[in-house]
Chain A
Amino acid sequence: MTASPDGEHVGRRMILRRDHIAGGAFAVASALVLIMSGDLPFGTLASPGAGMMPKLLLVLLIGFGAILIVRAGGSPPLAEIEWNDIRHAATVIGLSAVATAVYTIIGFVLSMSLLMFVLLYFVERRMLWRAAVVSVGVTVGSYLLFNTLLKSPLPPMPFWF
């Protein structure tokens, strides 16, 4: 086992770095899409098919991903990436996904009021009445602004708005 100047052990043990994962993810994803692109005709340079541009791009992306992996030595170790905001991110994206799923079913006012209320009251721990007033007030205000003033319709509630 030899040691590199910065003290990392080379040979037996390799530290997984940020760019190993990033480059690998891009290369694998691009390869998968390339496999899926089999039915798209490539054509010729003079007469390009629908698949030429995407296939050339995917090959380039695989190449760039590989270069990123090869040059990953200078990037920080994967363990150094801070994930302390992941819970916040997962909560926000999860709640937004639920609101999106019901957006056209229960309408803008109900879905967005609920999304804002849950974020304010349950996630941000704001006072109940304040969370409720802000959620409903802002949503109804926005609905009236877009629907009435800007004539740009938002999904209505099935029974009222």
Chain B
Amino acid sequence: METTIDSLLLGFSVAFQPGILLYAFLGCLTGTMVGMLTGIGPLAGISILLPVTFGLDATRAIVMLAGIYYGSQYGGSTTSILMRIPGEAASVMTCIDGYAMAQKGRAGAALCIAAVGSFIAGTFGVIVLTVVAPPLGQFALSFGPPEYTALLILGLVFLAYMSSTSLIRTLLMAGVGLMIGCIGIDVMTGHFRYAFDIPELGDGIGIVPVAVGLFGLGEILSTPSHTVTAKVTSPRLAELLPNRKEWRDSAMPIARGTVLGFIVGIVPGSAHIISSFLSYALEKRVSKHPEEFGKGAIAGVAGPESANNAASTGAFVPMLALGIPTGPVTAVLMAALLIHGVPPGPTLVNDHPDVFWGFIASMYVGNLMLLALNLPMVSVFVNVLRIPYSYLYPLIIMFCIIGVYEVNHSIVDVWIMLIMGLVGYLLRKFDFDPAPLVLGRAAGHIGDHFYDEAQGLARQARRGRVGRSLIALRRGPDAVTPRAIRGLRAWCGNHNLAEIGGVCPVGHTSDFVCLPV
């Protein structure tokens, strides 16, 4: 615990640097707007703005991008309550009772409860993340390819059950994503798979063109400008405070939504969307007055808004501790970290403590910023909606192209994005959720590699009966446990491992390097 507090203090010393604070603020501000605007969700927002972070260091980049993610959960509630327009999918449930409250003249109270609920849920999520992620990361250091393969399969099974569409549709999407992940050179055998003599495809299809195409361009293609009409209304500052009954009625829904959202957030799937649906259903079930739901029940705002914020924080646990994405947004954030040379996963806490703890500390600060931004500034933010969509979507297309091109400076990526945009449009027409496809793409790329490695280790284990030790050694010095050394010693005879430090001289295996310990 003492170590955690020390580390957190290190994080705050990073997070309070003016540069980090500025990028946290920019992320939260952009996220709030992304959450409000129809046609651009957090995934597209993060992907499009990814190149903006290329000139930054890893901490600033991840702080800004994560700010967009959790900021969008705050922003989405504003348009849902005031205009019955969900800026992004997780705010759909807020439309029902939030807008009904606005019709009764209680828009300010609904906005305040949504913001306070989001703040409590977000802060709770960060506290649990602070406590859980480092030990989980330490535990995951003992994971090897077999464990990761099993974990990815478990993730895909969870995904199938937790998706917003039917089981078969989700599996189909995840399968297509896994197939896309197979494109490129097979690292174990060196074979080109489905590269069609296009050299750029040798490295595979990146997650950014897939995500931007499906969620950014795909949404624009299916949203003609004449269908987007927004009559902007904004509450006065004096109307923002809820009355005592509204506070009392929202306390338990916020608490339930927070816990439920965080748990759902850890599980693969479109967690922030599903958590808000589950929370709404839960509140309606436990309410003494379920008939009030749909007519302006404050619990119908407090629960879902808390849940989607807690879920977006919960999703960071497997990403930071295990290096496994649980949703398309965390998959893109992982790609962003990799672009900045910081591999997410168990080694992140030890190898890049400034990034890890700086990021966590910035989330405490970011949640406070969002509370301050979203309450008094709400009447300012809604003015963003006055920008006509006919001006907005050409701008989004341009940023989609910049965003995708800048990752690898490859025009092939832009073509892939266009194709994915078309695919995204068709998937929407045929009622498929593209989120499992992005997740499948992320899992496929690492899953295939882990599976092959696991099989290679299993072969070695059968021959030499030291598989577990080799698996531990293969992962690097941090993973070399006394048990692993004992296993290798038993296999190698009486060699002093400290003297080996290279390829095993007795040639028990040519595949593995015995690391110095």
> What is A's interface to B at a CB cutoff of 8 Å?
18-19, 21-22, 26, 33, 36-37, 40-41, 45-51, 53-54, 57-58, 60-61, 64-65, 67-68, 71, 75, 81, 83-85, 88-89, 92-93, 96-97, 99-100, 103-104, 108, 112, 115-116, 119-120, 124, 126, 134-135, 138-139, 142, 146, 149-155
User: How far does the alpha carbon of A18 sit from the alpha carbon of B179 in the complex, in Å?
Assistant: 23
B401 touches A112 (CB 8 A): yes
User: How far does the alpha carbon of A22 sit from the alpha carbon of B414 in the complex, in Å?
Assistant: 26
A93 touches B189 (CB 8 A): no
B402 touches A57 (CB 8 A): no
B432 at the interface (CB under 8 A from A): yes
Of B225, B398, B452, the residue contacting A138 (CB under 8 A) is: B398
B220 touches A68 (CB 8 A): no
Of A33, A68, A93, the residue contacting B422 (CB under 8 A) is: A93
- Chain B 163-200 interface 0/1 with A at a Cβ cutoff of 8 Å (1 = within): 00000110110011011001000101101011000000
User: How far does the alpha carbon of A139 sit from the alpha carbon of B397 in the complex, in Å?
Assistant: 12
Residues in B with CB closer than 8 Å to A116 are 394-395, 398
- Chain B 430-469 interface 0/1 with A at a Cβ cutoff of 8 Å (1 = within): 1110000000000010001001100100110000000000
Contact segment of B50-58, B229-237, B258-266, B377-385: B50-58
Chain B contact-residue range equals 35 or more
A92 touches B221 (CB 8 A): yes
A115 touches B175 (CB 8 A): no
Q: How many interface contacts (CB-CB < 8 Å) are there between A and B?
A: 159
Residues in A with CB closer than 8 Å to B401 are 96, 99-100, 103, 112
B411 touches A100 (CB 8 A): yes
Residues in B with CB closer than 8 Å to A89 are 221-222, 422, 425
B51 touches A54 (CB 8 A): no
User: How far does the alpha carbon of A123 sit from the alpha carbon of B398 in the complex, in Å?
Assistant: 16
Of A41, A46, A71, A152, the residue contacting B168 (CB under 8 A) is: A71
- Given A120-B394, A146-B51 in contact, is the A85-B221 Cβ separation under 8 Å? yes
> What is B's interface to A at a CB cutoff of 8 Å?
51-52, 54-55, 168-169, 171-172, 175-176, 178-179, 182, 186, 188-189, 191, 193-194, 217, 220-225, 227, 390-391, 393-395, 397-399, 401-402, 405-406, 409, 411, 414-415, 418, 421-422, 425, 429-432, 444, 448, 451-452, 455, 458-459
Chain B: minimal CB distance from A81 (Å): 6
Of A33, A124, A153, the residue contacting B179 (CB under 8 A) is: A33
User: How far does the alpha carbon of A11 sit from the alpha carbon of B432 in the complex, in Å?
Assistant: 29
A40 touches B169 (CB 8 A): no
B172 touches A64 (CB 8 A): yes
User: How far does the alpha carbon of A36 sit from the alpha carbon of B186 in the complex, in Å?
Assistant: 16
Residues in A with CB closer than 8 Å to B225 are 88, 124
B418 touches A46 (CB 8 A): no
Residues in B with CB closer than 8 Å to A45 are 455
- Given A21-B430, A96-B401 in contact, is the A67-B179 Cβ separation under 8 Å? no
Chain A: minimal CB distance from B48 (Å): 11
User: How far does the alpha carbon of A51 sit from the alpha carbon of B338 in the complex, in Å?
Assistant: 27
Of B414, B451, B459, the residue contacting A53 (CB under 8 A) is: B451
B191 touches A46 (CB 8 A): no
Chain A: minimal CB distance from B208 (Å): 14
A65 touches B172 (CB 8 A): yes
A92 touches B397 (CB 8 A): yes
Lowest 8 CB-CB distances: which A-B pairs, in order? A50-B191, A50-B186, A124-B390, A88-B224, A89-B221, A119-B394, A150-B55, A22-B430
Residues in A with CB closer than 8 Å to B415 are 100
Chain B: minimal CB distance from A123 (Å): 8
B178 touches A57 (CB 8 A): yes
B398 touches A41 (CB 8 A): no
Chain A: minimal CB distance from B68 (Å): 16
Chain A: minimal CB distance from B446 (Å): 12
For residue A89, which residue of chain B has the nearest CB? Answer: B221
B455 touches A47 (CB 8 A): yes
For residue B429, which residue of chain A has the nearest CB? Answer: A81
A146 touches B189 (CB 8 A): no
Given pairs A64-B175, A68-B169, A126-B391, 9 additional interface contacts (CB within 8 A): A18-B431, A48-B451, A60-B175, A103-B411, A116-B395, A124-B391, A150-B54, A151-B54, A152-B55
Residues in B with CB closer than 8 Å to A150 are 51-52, 54-55
Chain B: minimal CB distance from A79 (Å): 13
For residue A113, which residue of chain B has the nearest CB? Answer: B398
A61 touches B176 (CB 8 A): yes
B175 touches A57 (CB 8 A): yes
User: How far does the alpha carbon of A42 sit from the alpha carbon of B69 in the complex, in Å?
Assistant: 41
User: How far does the alpha carbon of A133 sit from the alpha carbon of B175 in the complex, in Å?
Assistant: 45
User: How far does the alpha carbon of A113 sit from the alpha carbon of B367 in the complex, in Å?
Assistant: 38
Chain A: minimal CB distance from B418 (Å): 6
Residues in A with CB closer than 8 Å to B444 are 53
Residues in B with CB closer than 8 Å to A149 are 55
User: How far does the alpha carbon of A126 sit from the alpha carbon of B394 in the complex, in Å?
Assistant: 12
User: How far does the alpha carbon of A37 sit from the alpha carbon of B448 in the complex, in Å?
Assistant: 16
For residue A88, which residue of chain B has the nearest CB? Answer: B224
Chain B: minimal CB distance from A108 (Å): 8
B222 touches A85 (CB 8 A): yes
For residue A143, which residue of chain B has the nearest CB? Answer: B402
Chain B: minimal CB distance from A19 (Å): 8
User: How far does the alpha carbon of A88 sit from the alpha carbon of B425 in the complex, in Å?
Assistant: 11
Residues in B with CB closer than 8 Å to A154 are 402, 405-406
For residue A84, which residue of chain B has the nearest CB? Answer: B224
Chain B: minimal CB distance from A48 (Å): 6
For residue A90, which residue of chain B has the nearest CB? Answer: B221
Residues in B with CB closer than 8 Å to A135 are 394
Residues in B with CB closer than 8 Å to A65 are 172
B394 touches A93 (CB 8 A): no
- Given A22-B430, A36-B194 in contact, is the A48-B452 Cβ separation under 8 Å? yes
Residues in A with CB closer than 8 Å to B227 are 85
Chain A: minimal CB distance from B503 (Å): 22
